[in-house]
A and B are shown apart, each in its own frame.
Chain A
């Protein structure tokens, strides 16, 4: 391994990068701007508040206690619906998207539970099926609060339930969700377009042909470039995290998984960029091809918005997108602190990294036909 070259390449690549205002903007400033803008939109207003219609047929303190809990959460602005009203009709006429109906035997069933722990009761969750965003989010929040209510009342036994469950962590703000997505998205763009440039512009400019005639192996060159690309990944990641922490107060759990995921993501998307650059040789066309792959991932891989808010078909598509696993691995590693899920998603990141990077290295050629 030519360490003299690797050192020179890394140092000059960093200098060259710093001289390119456009690249610095897209790698550092653009994600920071997005965090500030999205953070201001979704976090600056405080917690999101939904209009919730509540029809309570139960006259015990237990149902009142649950409604108070919903009110105290600050997520909901509650309107009580008269018991004579037909719930669905009332919601349509009064423009409610979400509502809950507490059955008349709510309190009675809970009291009965202490004598017979096999009984349970469901509240009914009403939502406008045409509204794809608010309904699932509010459902997730109510579901989470029901869990908490169950904990308080029955010490963790689910005596009160809903027909549908959701995984959305209720204690996190939008910005907590957004920052890891932004990290994944930024690394993806830097790596894909960086690799495309090296494999198309450098080929067109004769740099690859020149290197072929010099005493450097393709592996030394790729290794050196990967060091630089990982430097970029970590720089942009840390800038995004610092802005997230200082401006929006997100809580970060730094651990070894975080570093593994960043490195894996860098290799994964560099490999993808190499493959694009190999098969689409013209730089402009390669950039378009890069955009065609990265742009949909930005929206479909749960980068900016929770996948739970999306239709089922899009949630299925997301599971075929590498960025989805990066986003979920990062969220679980540094925000949610869920080790099991981190390992699960990280496994996919590493597998994708090995596959894409290996294929990229195999298919990238310096020799001309």
Chain B
């Protein structure tokens, strides 16, 4: 199978390479770049564990080909911390006990980040709607909502 050249800025660093056109963005991030914070929980775009920010929008990276992201900017969970300082969402998830097994957490943080970028002061209903494309099996969402509210108050 042939390959295609790509160039993607991931967490501020330009990444170039030759990839198969069918390579999913999530596999490029996890396996080619070794950024394993982005997880895979399903193969049908339902669970949201693989959520990253692509040019400012939350996307499920299991449903984006790497070549589609070429020339664009990707932000993953590893890019949320600046100079060792936690993003308020990261702090919020810890303070409000918004995680248990941690597997959905990076996706939840990324989708919440996109939500707060669009709406810095969401209602509970808006938060619930905003994260409804991401599944969590451990927390029952109550504390995830609180974590997003915590971050909204800090930002």
Verify that A and B bind, or say they do not.
no
A interface with B by C-beta (< 8 Å):
none
B interface with A by C-beta (< 8 Å):
none
